[in-house]
Amino acid sequence: MGEPKRVLHILQRMEAGGTQALLMNIYRKIDRSKLQFDFLVVYSEKQFYDDEVLNLGGKIYRSTFREDLNLFKFCKYLNSFFREHNTEYDIVHVHAYTIGYFCLKYAEKWGIPVRIAHSHSNAVSKDFTRFFKYPMKKLFLIHANEYFACSKEAGDFLFGNKGFKILNNSIDSKKFIYNDDNREQFRKQLGIDDCFVIGHVGRFHIEKNHKFLLEIFNEILKINSKAKLLLTGSGPLEKEIREIVRQKNLEDAVIFLGNRNDMENVFHALDIFVLPSSFEGLGIAAIEAQAAGIPSICSDGLPEIANISPLFYKVSLRKNVAEWAQVCIQAAGNKYAHMDMHEYVINAGFDIDVTSKEVQQFYLEKIQCIDLDRCSNS
């Protein structure tokens, strides 16, 4: 058997985020004797998934664009990269629309046949970056010839009436099946055995709405003084959120877990999961929480596709913190809590075994067509 075909994925960095989790879930499951993933990122420092990528046989190429914000230098890098590597890749798959136009432009210039634009979001953040993001959203489509989205809402947001393929942000659902021993051990390890435990999983970015989450938690504390909040993730706003926790005198009640490789243990330890995001392309953490048998209270910033089980609660961001807190307290009594929800995940189409096969087939069929076309033209 010859060398595996290689697909180049381009994104901001291989941090512990939802897009990266999806790619790694697929990467672990594909037949790597036939297909390999490489990654081009725009941060130079080492990231959460880098070691695993290298161990699986992938390559990581690093630009410094997000650190120096030198667009001329970035374009020069991309031009040089695709000139050097254009024979290695038939497929370039871009997951960040803010840089996508430039990546796909040079991929097309140097003859990469399949250029995928992938939408992972259903809105633009309302901070100052929106003035840059809106035009890049439009430009992303110009040099793409395949379109993927993590939900209908994410596809409509980025691609409008263009045809796009929905690729569910799937998970290894068997890994998340509720386990009482995991719950007991992890809670004991954190010293929260007899507490009402609320969890949130997500990068410390503006769209995750951590400030509002802390307000909700503060309200829950008024009802249950034994409440604890577990925050899993990292990101640019972590320092600010830690300071708010300190100002609100919540340091004994809020536990920062950082990035984890044992998310199933984190979810099993929870009584409820809360995700009050301003917007989400999907909200893969909500899928994981439901898979783990945890009642999941989520904002209307999530698409309806995230509602995969009787454990899902959608609450409007227009509701006040007291109303959110009441839903959280009531949801803890859900009769499906801490049950095996594996079949719900499969039935909703979020099991990685199915998704990885679909992705592998898509890539290999595209590559086969390209190879046949080259043979007929030679």
- Tell me, yes or no, whether 181 and 318 share the same domain: yes
DSSP-derived secondary structure letter, 42 = S
- CB under 8 Å to 172, separation ≥6 — which residues? 25, 28, 29, 351, 352
- Smallest CA-to-CA distance from 274 within 299, 308, 291 is with 299
- Tell me, yes or no, whether 245 and 343 share the same domain: yes
Q: Terminal CA-to-CA distance of the chain, rounded, Å?
A: 23
Tell me the C-alpha distance between 110 and 266, whole Å.
45
- Tell me, yes or no, whether 324 and 369 share the same domain: no
- Tell me, yes or no, whether 20 and 148 share the same domain: yes
- Smallest CA-to-CA distance from 112 within 132, 130, 94, 137 is with 94
- Smallest CA-to-CA distance from 151 within 167, 138, 139 is with 167
- Tell me, yes or no, whether 360 and 280 share the same domain: no
CATH of the domain at 216: 3.40.50.2000
| Cα three-residue angle 260-262-265, rounded to 5 degrees | 120
CA distances for 378 relative to 10, 111, 374, angstroms? 31, 16, 6
With beta carbons less than 8 A apart as the criterion, state whether 186 and 268 touch: yes
Tell me the C-alpha distance between 326 and 219, whole Å.
9
Q: What is the pLDDT tens value at each position of the chain, 378 positions in all?
A: 579 999 999 999 999 888 999 999 999 999 999 999 999 999 999 999 999 999 999 999 999 998 888 999 999 999 999 999 999 999 999 999 889 999 999 999 999 999 999 999 877 665 545 656 667 888 898 999 999 999 898 899 889 888 899 998 899 999 999 999 999 999 999 999 999 999 999 999 999 999 999 999 999 999 999 999 999 999 999 999 999 999 999 999 999 999 998 999 999 999 999 999 998 988 899 999 999 999 999 999 999 999 999 999 999 999 999 999 999 999 999 999 999 999 999 999 999 999 999 999 999 999 999 988 777 665
Other beta carbons within 10 angstroms of residue 61's beta carbon come to: 13
Tell me the C-alpha distance between 53 and 237, whole Å.
26
- Tell me, yes or no, whether 55 and 74 share the same domain: yes
pTM of the model: 0.86
Supply 342's token pair.
């594996």
- Tell me, yes or no, whether 164 and 303 share the same domain: no
- Tell me, yes or no, whether 360 and 333 share the same domain: no
> pLDDT at position 67, please?
87
Sign of CA dihedral 151, 117, 171, 21: negative
> pLDDT at position 37, please?
98
> pLDDT at position 162, please?
85
> pLDDT at position 332, please?
96
At residue 323, φ and ψ (nearest 5 deg) are: -65, -40
- Tell me, yes or no, whether 245 and 273 share the same domain: yes
Other beta carbons within 10 angstroms of residue 294's beta carbon come to: 29
- CB under 8 Å to 85, separation ≥6 — which residues? 8
Based on DSSP, count helices (H) and strands (E) in the chain, helices before strands.
16, 13
Half-sphere exposure of 84 (CA within 13 A, CB side): 7
- Tell me, yes or no, whether 340 and 227 share the same domain: yes
| 313: helix, strand or coil | strand
Tell me the C-alpha distance between 60 and 261, whole Å.
20
Q: How many domains does the chain have?
A: 2
Tell me the C-alpha distance between 4 and 32, whole Å.
7
- The range of the structural domain enclosing residue 319 comes to 173-347
- Smallest CA-to-CA distance from 17 within 46, 49, 53, 44 is with 49
> pLDDT at position 19, please?
92
Tell me the C-alpha distance between 280 and 365, whole Å.
31
* Strand ranges inside the chain, DSSP E: 5-10, 35-41, 60-62, 89-94, 114-119, 146-149, 165-166, 196-201, 227-232, 254-258, 272-275, 296-299, 312-315
> pLDDT at position 361, please?
96
Supply 215's token pair.
């307000």
- Tell me, yes or no, whether 42 and 110 share the same domain: yes
- Tell me, yes or no, whether 162 and 259 share the same domain: no
| 335: helix, strand or coil | coil
